[in-house]
Structure 1
Amino acid sequence: MAARFPEGNHVQLRPRKGHDMTWSCDKHGEPIAFYCKKHGLPVCDRCAIKAHCQKPCELDDIEDLIFQRRKNLDDKKPQIEETEKQLKTLVSKIETVATSASRSIGAVKDQVKMTFEDKLKIVSHKKERKHREIHEWADERITKIYEEMDKKIKDCNTEIEKEEQTIKDKKAKLLSDTKTIGELVTKKINNLSCKNQHAINTLMNIESTIKRIHQHDETLVNEAPQVLASIDEISSLNIHQDVSDCLDRIQSEVERVEFVEGEVGGEYYDRIDGYIGTWELVKSIHIPSVVNNPRVFGLFSDEIYAHDRDNHDMYVTNISTQNTQKVIDGDGNTWISSCAPMDSNVIVCGQWRVDCTGDRLDGCITLYDRQWKVIRDISIPRNGHGFSVFVDVDRDGMIIAAQSYQSNIYVINPVNDKIVNTITMQGKEVHGRIQALSSGDIVVNTGYDKYTAISRSGEEKATIHRDGWGLSECCVDKLTDTLYIVYWDGVRNTYAVDQVSRDGIIQARRIVRYKESDRTDLISPCLVTPSGNLVGFDGDKLHLYKKTFVL
């Protein structure tokens, strides 16, 4: 590459036209003499000789080249001036166009701004409108929620108030019953106290009379016989023993009084009970003649269940309404022998079937709903030739079931219908109803006039029997475990009911009696309602009895 000669290196050069002789070769330091067209390089003589003397290099004299190029540049000066003139004329146009463009763009920008500000306003108004709609929707929902909440609270309060009122009513009734018993006891004790005090006053008068007549012989002779007669009379009354016996009886009866409560068929019941009392007939309900040969076998709350022994139709009689209606059409092979409430919606029934075969009693235990629609059947093993199955529900909600004339009692879980325990009685067979006690024991009809209380292991706890019962039926009060045994009293020609403890102790004889009708010849059990009333059936009418406390 060409460069200026370095200072101090003075070379005498021949000046030439149009050539700056201070221009020298960078490599050799000699003046530039030629220009290589091929390589586009200015070169000195030595470069020309060494590197650019052969084709395709073509060398021009550097002075001619400089002259020509200067000339070319000078020739372009008018063109430059003209172009410069033209460009200068564009300055004002540029400014004008720039101003116009700026104005136009500004107008567009303003239009854009205005348009989108309007759009933003529209969106903002839309937002406000949407917010109002949302608030209105929310207000409406909140109003509905509050309305629903108020309704639910009102319904809840109504339900709770109803429950509270039921509890208050029950409490008031129980307190009233307790008060009545207390008043009766107080009245009786006051009467005894008056009787005792009257005797004391009589004796005090006799003593005063004796003291007085002792003072005069004539008075003594005249009045002594009368005084002696009074003494003998009051002694013969044996008031002390009479009052003492009455007080003992009062104490014994009062000690029996207790508050009993519990669940029967999934519903809660309570009452004042435990005493012997006396039973009063409240009402009698006639069973319609459409039921040809009725026999009562169970109850659920205030509904009494009976079947027609002629055609095995099933009927329900409501104690409150006294209405009787058929709920199941019978057939010649099946009829219900026993039943018990599982809960407020389900009833389990034991049935008599004459068409059972094989080693299972299929269809002898059936679950019904309260409308007497079949829910499902439960099967137990079949032994021997008995076709009747008796059932009950124990305190844990388990079904207990037994085949007639067999020793096994099955405990069945109603959740999966599986037998969870088998209780085997020793030397005894099931002859009729089986009933669970609140203690967990079971009372079984084991003979013509015999009942046996057994434990869950099959151990005999008590034998319940009395000569004279003959053909009888037993029913258990689920709250007190008291047994009520109805039998035919041939001496009085009536049905009679004895009250017996679960230990087999007879607490009261013939607490109720009712005559047998000509409509049926088979005894029905005397049923116990959860509220403690007795329901006897004479073959024609249901007799409802209520117990009252007496001394």
Structure 2
Amino acid sequence: MAARFPKGNQVQLRPRKGHDMTWSCDKHGGPIAFYCKKHGLFVCDRCAIKEHCQKPCELDDIEDVIFERRKKLDEKRPEIQELQKQMKALDLKIKTALAFSDTNLQTVNNNIQASYHDKIKSVEEKEDRMIRVINEEADEEIRLVNEKREKRIKDCNTEREKERKIIKDKEAKLLSDAKKITEIVSKKIKDLINTSQHVINTITNIELTITRINQDDEILVNEAPQVLASIDENLSLNVHQDVTDCLHQIENAIQGVKFVEGEVGGEYYGRIDGYIGKWELFKSIHIPLVVNDLEVRYFVSEDEICVQDVDNYNMYITNIYTQHTEKVTDGGEWITSCAPLDSNVIVCGKERWDCTGDRLDGCITLYDRQWKVIRDISISRIGYNKALYVDVDSDGMIIAGQSYQSNIYVINPANDKIVNTITMQGKTVWGVIQALSSGDIVVNTGNNTYTVISRSGEAKAVIHCDEWGSSRCRVDKLTDTLYIAYRDKERNTYAVDQVSSDGIIQARRIVEYVQIDSTDFISPCLVTPFGNLVGCDGDKIHLYKKTFTLEIIKNLNTVCRHRP
């Protein structure tokens, strides 16, 4: 409502600037001439005189208000245009990343299919050769030989189909794993595309809004503050940087995905690995009460692991699929380490107290799969210690090291001869030695210290962490990744860290389980050829598998809730 102009007060009205305005006062019908800062109202001359002539009212010429607000909107145009340019470029990068992801993961699929295609073909060629030989033998026989031939052919075909099914099942699993990774990555990429497109649409809408309100002064004055606030809000979100950071995280994760394959203990294995994933417990196995103080030693096949009773030195084999545990050796000798030499033979390193003279007799023993002794390998003894640690390298050679000595011997199991002696420079064997696929050797060379030794004896990397209390190290034979199990006394748990062979700690506490027993003895965390982890808490054996994940740090969901 307009108020009367109080007596004794006068309003100095500024002359109009000749602007032809169609905007008029709803009350008096006259053109809008002023803007009252106190009341936030646009008024004509009569309103100004009657209702807004006294302090604290302060009147600005409407032309100045229009000019000032149009100027502020125009000043924002370069920022909007630059952001629009950046977001369009980012949208192109995201689409390029999607194409790269599809190409890289398709390469993984192709590698898997090519590898298993060759193996299936090799099996078929092998069986075809056997069938040809059988046919040649059968042609020289009469009816009974022919019957025998047909039976053997049938057996060969059955065996071929069995092997083929095993290979195809493994291939199908790997392709399924690759598909899951592709789906995870595609979903994240699509989320980024949606976010980026939303910002582009928002900017476009702001541009259209500015163009629209500039066509009508009344709309301009009324809506400009809201539009300006929306512009400032969207500019402050820094979506471009957030999307870029997420894109880099996704690209780094994709680059780590690879198909790894190789032989372990004479058996072929392949899997998708190379990434830092999430480890999940999928099975726990209770060991029979006859095993008093449990320690896992090593895997001897894809489904069997060695378990030793620390109290009486009895050795057991636990099948991680059937969960059956069977005693295979009686106590009397401490087995320090063991590894599959091939599909039929297992090599064990031991500590024996009955060794005399200058030979370590019975400290390296070859067993068959029924744990019957095949033979012992004897090497020279240096010093007083009688413990030997062994492993099998990628060439099928036995590597062996005597405790507290600097020499590592490479032994040919075909004739038990030492073919090479590696002398470590300034290091001695404190515990297990393990061969890497690269040819290097990981040696426990001190308290919670592991050294990567070249074949010339040079220390290539020293791996140590003060937090590793009473630690044990095991190597993934396909990736050369180290898994170091240690005890956290404060939390009363066992934890496992993942470390690269060049000494970089890649992930801390990838798995953690409660310490059951009260001893200071810690069991190592084994790595199966399929990439699963096998931990032991003193009472149960825990099996973990790794899954591919994309943990995106930035949260872009808030962007989609803002509208211009």
- TM-score normalized with structure 2 length: 0.70
| Whole-angstrom CA distance in 2 between matches of 1:235 and 1:321 | 60
Give the letter aligned to residue 288 of structure 1.
Answer: P
Give the letter aligned to residue 495 of structure 1.
Answer: Y
| Whole-angstrom CA distance in 2 between matches of 1:319 and 1:170 | 18
Pick closer, same or farther for the CA change 1:538–1:226 going to 2, 3 Å: farther
| Whole-angstrom CA distance in 2 between matches of 1:213 and 1:434 | 77
- After superposition, residues 482-493 of structure 1 pair within 5 angstroms as 482-490=481-489, 492-493=491-492
Pick closer, same or farther for the CA change 1:448–1:237 going to 2, 3 Å: farther
Pick closer, same or farther for the CA change 1:355–1:194 going to 2, 3 Å: same
Give the letter aligned to residue 409 of structure 2.
Answer: Y
Pick closer, same or farther for the CA change 1:237–1:515 going to 2, 3 Å: farther
| Whole-angstrom CA distance in 2 between matches of 1:354 and 1:217 | 101
| Whole-angstrom CA distance in 1 between matches of 2:265 and 2:247 | 40
Counterpart in the other structure of 1:452: 451
Over residues 238-292 of structure 1, what are the superposed CA-to-partner deviations in whole Å (9 max), with x where a residue is unaligned?
A: 2222221221122112111111111111111111111111111111111222111
Identity %: 72
Counterpart in the other structure of 1:288: 288
Over residues 165-189 of structure 1, what are the superposed CA-to-partner deviations in whole Å (9 max), with x where a residue is unaligned?
A: 2222222222222122112111111
Shift of 1:419: 1.4
Task: Tell me, yes or no, if the aligned pair for 2:348 and 2:364 is still in contact at 8 Å.
Answer: yes
Shift of 1:385: 2.5
| Whole-angstrom CA distance in 2 between matches of 1:537 and 1:139 | 58
| Whole-angstrom CA distance in 1 between matches of 2:267 and 2:452 | 25
| Whole-angstrom CA distance in 2 between matches of 1:489 and 1:229 | 53
Pick closer, same or farther for the CA change 1:468–1:144 going to 2, 3 Å: same
| Whole-angstrom CA distance in 2 between matches of 1:269 and 1:478 | 10
Pick closer, same or farther for the CA change 1:287–1:222 going to 2, 3 Å: farther
Task: Tell me, yes or no, if the aligned pair for 1:294 and 1:520 is still in contact at 8 Å.
Answer: no
Over residues 477-532 of structure 1, what are the superposed CA-to-partner deviations in whole Å (9 max), with x where a residue is unaligned?
A: 11111111112234544222111111112222221111111254311111000111
Shift of 1:204: 2.1
| Whole-angstrom CA distance in 1 between matches of 2:444 and 2:383 | 18
Which structure has more RCO (C-alpha within 8 Å, separation ≥ 6)? 2
Counterpart in the other structure of 1:543: 542
| Whole-angstrom CA distance in 2 between matches of 1:549 and 1:315 | 34
Counterpart in the other structure of 2:142: 142
Task: Tell me, yes or no, if the aligned pair for 1:430 and 1:446 is still in contact at 8 Å.
Answer: yes
Counterpart in the other structure of 2:323: 322
Give the letter aligned to residue 364 of structure 2.
Answer: I
Task: Tell me, yes or no, if the aligned pair for 1:519 and 1:540 is still in contact at 8 Å.
Answer: no
| Whole-angstrom CA distance in 1 between matches of 2:139 and 2:424 | 72
Counterpart in the other structure of 2:531: 532
Counterpart in the other structure of 2:304: 303
Give the letter aligned to residue 266 of structure 1.
Answer: G
- TM-score normalized with structure 1 length: 0.71
Over residues 440-481 of structure 1, what are the superposed CA-to-partner deviations in whole Å (9 max), with x where a residue is unaligned?
A: 110101111211111111111222223322321111111111
Is 1:344 the counterpart of 2:343? The answer is yes
Following TM superposition, the consecutive aligned residue runs of length 4 or more in structure 1 with deviations greater than 6 angstroms are none
Is 1:469 the counterpart of 2:474? The answer is no
Task: Tell me, yes or no, if the aligned pair for 1:389 and 1:403 is still in contact at 8 Å.
Answer: yes
Task: Structure 1: state its 5+ residue gaps.
Answer: 1-137
Give the letter aligned to residue 507 of structure 1.
Answer: Q
Give the letter aligned to residue 155 of structure 1.
Answer: D
Counterpart in the other structure of 2:259: 259
Counterpart in the other structure of 2:230: 230
Over residues 338-362 of structure 1, what are the superposed CA-to-partner deviations in whole Å (9 max), with x where a residue is unaligned?
A: 1000111111111122232221111
Is 1:382 the counterpart of 2:381? The answer is yes
| Whole-angstrom CA distance in 2 between matches of 1:480 and 1:525 | 18
SS in 2 for 1:289: coil
Pick closer, same or farther for the CA change 1:284–1:234 going to 2, 3 Å: farther
- After superposition, residues 418-457 of structure 1 pair within 5 angstroms as 418-457=417-456
Counterpart in the other structure of 1:406: 405
Pick closer, same or farther for the CA change 1:230–1:354 going to 2, 3 Å: farther
Counterpart in the other structure of 1:275: 275
| Whole-angstrom CA distance in 2 between matches of 1:306 and 1:316 | 6
Task: Tell me, yes or no, if the aligned pair for 2:139 and 2:146 is still in contact at 8 Å.
Answer: no
- After superposition, residues 354-365 of structure 1 pair within 5 angstroms as 354-365=353-364
Task: Tell me, yes or no, if the aligned pair for 1:274 and 1:480 is still in contact at 8 Å.
Answer: yes
Counterpart in the other structure of 1:153: 153
Number of paired residues? 412
Counterpart in the other structure of 1:501: 500
Give the letter aligned to residue 400 of structure 1.
Answer: I
Over residues 319-370 of structure 1, what are the superposed CA-to-partner deviations in whole Å (9 max), with x where a residue is unaligned?
A: 0001112111102xx2111100011111111112223222111111111111
SS in 1 for 2:430: coil
SS in 2 for 1:177: helix
Task: Structure 2: state its 5+ residue gaps.
Answer: 1-137, 551-564
Counterpart in the other structure of 2:206: 206
| Whole-angstrom CA distance in 2 between matches of 1:139 and 1:348 | 44
Give the letter aligned to residue 168 of structure 2.
Answer: K
Over residues 96-126 of structure 1, what are the superposed CA-to-partner deviations in whole Å (9 max), with x where a residue is unaligned?
A: xxxxxxxxxxxxxxxxxxxxxxxxxxxxxxx
